[in-house]
Chain A
Amino acid sequence: MRARAETALITAGALALAFALFGLFLLANRLNPLEVYAVLWLGGFGTSFSLQATLTQAAPLMLTALCVAIPARAGLLVIGGEGALVAGGVCAVLAGVAAAGLPAAVGTALVCAAGAAAGGAWIAMAGALKHRRGVNETISTLLLNYIAIALLNHLVSGPIRDHTVSLKVTSWSIPQPYMVDAIPGVGVHWGLALGVLACLAAYVLLRYSVPGFAIAVLGGNARAAQLVGLPIGRLTLLACALGGAAAGLAGAVEIVAVHGAASSSLVVGFGYAGILVAFLARQNPLAIVFFAFLVGGISASGGLMQRRFDMPDAATQVLQGMIFLCVLGSNALYGRVRMFRVARAGA
Chain B
Amino acid sequence: MTGTELGWWGVALAVAGGAIRVSTPYLFVSLGETLTEKSGRVNLGLEGTLLMGAMSGYGASYLTGSPWLGVLAAAASGALLGLLHAAVSNLPRVNDIAVGIALFIFGTGLAFFLGKPFVQPQAPRLPTLALGGFSDVPAIRAALEVSPLFFIGIALAFVMHWALPNTRWGLIVRAVGDNAEAARTAGYPVNLTRTLATALGGVFAGVAGAFLSLSYPGTWAEGLSSGQGLMAVALVIFARWNPVHCVWVSLLFGGASALGPALQTVGVTGYYYLTGAAPYVLTLALLIASSSRRHRLAGAPGELSINR
Contact = CB atoms under 8 A, between A and B. Distances in A.
B91 A331 contact: yes
A342 to B, nearest CB: 20
Nearest to A157: B273
B94 A318 contact: no
A324 B230 contact: no
A331 B98 CA distance: 12
**Is chain A's interface secondary structure helix, strand, loop, or mixed overall?**
helix
A272 B109 contact: no
A49 interface: no
B49 to A, nearest CB: 13
Interface string A74-97: 000101000000000000000000
Given A77-B97, A329-B88, A138 B283 contact: no
B105 A321 contact: yes
B291 A322 contact: no
A316 B272 CA distance: 32
A320 interface: yes
B277 A146 contact: yes
A151 interface: yes
Nearest to B278: A150
Contacts of A320: 105-106, 109
Interface stretch (B110-118, B146-154, B170-178): B110-118
B13 to A, nearest CB: 25
A153 B48 CA distance: 24
B105 A140 contact: no
B293 A329 contact: no
B168 interface: no
Contacts of B288: 129, 133, 135
B287 interface: yes
B12 interface: no
Contacts of B109: 314-321
Contacts of B88: 325, 328-329
A101 interface: no
Chain A CB within 10 A, most for which of B99, B101, B106, B306: B101
B270 to A, nearest CB: 6
Interface string B273-294: 1101100110110011001111
Interface string B254-277: 000000000000000011111011
B102 interface: yes
B9 to A, nearest CB: 27
A134 B293 CA distance: 4
A138 B306 contact: yes
B187 interface: no
Interface string A295-324: 000000000000000011011111111101
B94 A143 contact: no
A139 B291 CA distance: 12
A37 interface: no
B284 A324 contact: no
A275 B45 CA distance: 14
A325 B88 CA distance: 7
B95 interface: yes
B93 A331 contact: yes
Interface string B296-308: 0000000000110
B293 A133 contact: yes
Contacts of B91: 329, 331-332
Chain A interface residue count: which class? 35 or more
A275 B94 contact: no
B282 to A, nearest CB: 10
B113 A144 contact: no
Contact of A133 (B98, B106, B292, B306): B292
B274 A150 contact: yes
A321 B230 CA distance: 17
Interface in B77-101: 84, 88, 91-95, 97-99, 101
A39 B172 CA distance: 51
A197 to B, nearest CB: 27
Chain A CB within 10 A, most for which of B91, B280, B281: B280
A36 B267 CA distance: 51
A154 B269 CA distance: 11
A142 interface: yes
B107 interface: yes
B98 A314 contact: no
A138 B277 CA distance: 18
Given A139-B234, A154-B271, A332-B91, A317 B105 contact: yes
Nearest to B279: A146
B135 to A, nearest CB: 35
A138 B231 CA distance: 12
A86 to B, nearest CB: 13
B35 interface: no
A138 B43 CA distance: 12
A231 interface: no
Nearest to A276: B105
Nearest to B113: A314
Nearest to B277: A150
B157 interface: no
Given A146-B280, A157-B273, A321 B113 contact: no
Nearest 10 pairs of A and B residues by beta carbon: A321-B106, A317-B109, A150-B277, A324-B102, A314-B112, A332-B91, A154-B273, A153-B273, A318-B109, A134-B293
25 contacts: A129-B288, A129-B291, A134-B293, A135-B287, A147-B281, A150-B277, A151-B274, A151-B277, A154-B274, A272-B105, A276-B102, A317-B108, A317-B113, A318-B106, A318-B109, A320-B106, A321-B48, A321-B102, A321-B103, A324-B102, A328-B98, A329-B88, A329-B91, A331-B91, A332-B94
Given A144-B284, A157-B273, A317-B106, 13 more contacts: A133-B288, A133-B291, A134-B292, A136-B306, A138-B306, A139-B233, A314-B110, A314-B113, A321-B107, A321-B109, A324-B101, A324-B105, A331-B95
